[in-house]
Each structure stands twice: as C-alpha cells, then as structure tokens.
Amino acid sequence: MNKDMVILIAEDDAGHFQLIKKNLWLTCVDNDILQFKNGQEILDFLLKTNGETDPEKLKKYILLLDIRLPQVDGVEVLMKIKADDRLRKIPVIMLTTTSETDMIKQCYNLECSYYIVKPIDYHGFMEAVQSLGEFLSLEGMRLPCLSENQN
Amino acid sequence: MTKDSIILVGDNDPSHFELIKKNLSRAGVSNEILHFTDGQKILDFLFKASEEPEQGPASQKYLLLLDICLGKVDGVEVLTRIKQDEKLKKVPVIILAGSDEPDIIEKCHNLGCSTYIVKPPEDRDFEKTVQKIGRFLSVVEITSIE
C-alpha cells in the first residue's frame, strides 16, 4: 500500500544507521531508505523536494530524526520542517539516545509525531526498530501527500 | 510508554473497542485504557485534565486512538480542538478509522495527527493491526500535558 513511502534517516552514527536500516529492511523491504549524516543535508534535501512541481516526483516521506547531529541539530531541523506550510505534513519520528523529559516535551511542542529513545542494549534497539518497521508497513497506514493542496 | 500513561480510545462501536483493548493487551500493553463513545466526552475529559493544577491529572501522560465517526462531536473536530490547544497539542493522536476518504485523511494530516490508519475490514487483520500498534507504542515516549 505504501510502496511509494521513502524513509529518510538523519543519523550521523554509522553503526546506528546500519542497525536501523537492517532492521527496517526486515519489514519495509519495498521502501527506499535514504541516509543523511547531518542536519543541513536533510534540510537541503527537503527544501529541494519542496520546490518540486512535478507531482510524479513527489514521494511520501517519513523522517526518522536523531537529535545530536552535526551542523544543524535535530531540534532545529524539526522546527524548520514544522514551520513550512508543505513540509510540516511529513511525519517526524525522533529516534535518539537523549531521554531527558524536557527534550521529549520540547519535541512534542514542536509537533514531532513520536519520540523514541534508542534502547542502550543491542537487542532492545533491534526490537524497537522492528516494532517501528512493522508499524510503518501497516496495510491501513495512510501517509500525507506533499503534492496536494492544503484543506 | 511508561506504565502510568493512559490510552484514551474514542470509538463508538463497542465491539471495536473490545477488540482494540484485547489486542493492545495481547501486545503487552498494560496501561490504563479509557473508552469514549462520543467526541464531546473526550474533549471534556482532556480539557478538564489540562486545567487541573500541577501534580494532578495535568502531569499525566495521554495518548489518543481516535475514530472519525463518533457521537455528538466527530473525530476531525476533536483533533482540531486538541491540536489548537497549547497544552493538549502534545497528546499524540492516532486516527484509527473506518473512513478511507482521501479528503479526510489529508485534513487529519494537516491538523497534525501523528498517524492515520484505516481499520482493516476483517477482524483478524484488525487484531493484527492493533497488536502492531501496541508493540510500537511500547517503544514510544510521550509527555505530560502540563
């Protein structure tokens, strides 16, 4: 149903990225997964996408966003996405080691969809990503289209 | 989601509510689950909670599973009012609805639902869907409304 969903992962830790990708692949095999190593890269990509006028080229995106990122951090990325009329529809799932209560609150105030703290142990992390993958690949999941006008 | 978080379910079909409750539990979710059949009652509940002083229900964490078709006030209106409120907007809202109308789906995304999921027509599939939602919720952190 959501074969056209592209999963964007903003993660600067190569080991974490591989682990996330591998475990998402078990459930989201049909989807493209793109990695961004810093906050500026993801913003550049999204702003370029936002300028796209050909609806055929507009995909359905979902963003997994770490907080500690070089150049522009995850909170700033979230803020910029949610301040844009079109990009704000992209579901942003925070996936981070930061577990401070204030940070969780701040991200929900900035309208992240969900906040997931990376489990410290390897197996816990794998299981968490698989649960996320199974959720994202639900048959009934309906993602927003960037191409459609606002209601 | 910590054990003290409360899951609110807005669904006017009692059999759907039972299915949701049973399968969240099968997925290992042991949180308190409250059932609402009409949209006004959800709003009354949440607005009352947000007005309570600290240490009261406002320090509580809530997550809402919301159908569109509800008594009195429908799900779209409930979502609108929650996301317009400075405190309540932090409550993640998962739309779990019978409706597969693109206009409604788009509207809910614009209003800021976290996810829109169409209820599978077959009970067996619906059960699996709820179990996957439950396992996902187990790894999600939410925040209090204060």
Q: What is the pLDDT of residues A36-49, one digit of tens each?
A: 999 999 999 999 98
Question: Touching check for B141 and chain A: CB below 8 Å?
Answer: yes
> Which of A91, A138, A151 is facing B114, going by the closest CB pair?
A91
Q: Reply yes or no on whether the pLDDT at B63 is more than 90.
A: yes
Residues B22 and B5: their CA atoms lie apart, in Å, by: 18
- Under a CB-based contact definition with an 8 Å cutoff, are residues A73 and A67 in contact? yes
What mean pLDDT is reported for chain A?
92
Decide if B136 and A104 are in contact by the 8 Å CB cutoff.
Answer: no
> Looking at residues A85-106, what average pLDDT do you find?
96
Residues B80 and B57: their CA atoms lie apart, in Å, by: 22
Q: Reply yes or no on whether the pLDDT at A150 is more than 50.
A: no
Decide if A151 and B106 are in contact by the 8 Å CB cutoff.
Answer: yes
Alpha carbon of A109: minimum distance to chain B alpha carbons (Å): 6
Residues A150 and A41: their CA atoms lie apart, in Å, by: 26
Residues B82 and B145: their CA atoms lie apart, in Å, by: 11
Alpha carbon of B85: minimum distance to chain A alpha carbons (Å): 11
The pLDDT value recorded for residue B55 is 59
Nearest chain B residue to A151 by CA distance is: B107
Side chain identity, residue A77: V
Helix (H, G, I), strand (E, B) or coil at A126: helix
Question: Touching check for B75 and chain A: CB below 8 Å?
Answer: no
Measured torsion, CA atoms of residues A62, A67, A68, A73, in degrees rounded to the nearest 10: 80
> Which of B90, B103, B109 is facing A108, going by the closest CB pair?
B90
Decide if A138 and B141 are in contact by the 8 Å CB cutoff.
Answer: no
Q: Kindly list the residues from chain A whose CB atom is less than 8 angstroms away from the CB atom of residue B116.
A: 141-143
- Which residues are CB-contacts of A111 (< 8 A; sequence separation ≥ 6)? A78, A82, A88, A92, B89, B112
Helix (H, G, I), strand (E, B) or coil at B99: coil
- Under a CB-based contact definition with an 8 Å cutoff, are residues B87 and A131 in contact? no
> Looking at residues B62-87, what average pLDDT do you find?
96
Residues B30 and B53: their CA atoms lie apart, in Å, by: 27
Written as six digits, the tokens of A18 are: 């591989």
pTM for the full predicted model = 0.95
> Looking at residues A112-117, what average pLDDT do you find?
98
The pLDDT value recorded for residue A151 is 40
Residues B79 and B102: their CA atoms lie apart, in Å, by: 17
Decide if A132 and B136 are in contact by the 8 Å CB cutoff.
Answer: yes
